Amino acid sequence: MTITITVETDAFDVTDLLDELIKVRSLAQSRNERALLKTISYDEDTTQLKLVVELREPDPDWFGEQPKKQAV
């Protein structure tokens, strides 16, 4: 299942951007999902940062990861 999240917030420097990315990553981890950044935009006039992120179940091929092996 894929969920799309849009984050809109004021951002004044790179630290604000990183804070928002960390929040999205934490949300994904708490749901045992992966966060895929779809779009990122910034309006200098209004200092509005907009992130569009997809949360989805981990897929071993998504990042070229190997599936975790389970003990028998």
Across 12-34, average pLDDT: 92
Q: Which of 64, 51, 58 is nearest to 2 (CA)?
A: 58
29 inside domain: yes
- Using one digit for the tens of pLDDT, what is the confidence trace for 42-51? 999 999 999 9
pTM, entire model = 0.71
The pLDDT value given to residue 2: 81
Contacts of 29 (CB under 8 A, 6+ apart): none
Residue 57: pLDDT band (50, 70, 90) is confident
- 37 in a structural domain: yes
* Residue 64 within a domain: no
Distance of CA 45 to the CA centre of its chain: 25
- 41: in domain: yes
Confidence category of residue 68, pLDDT binned at 50, 70, 90: low
Domain at 35, CATH number: 3.30.1660
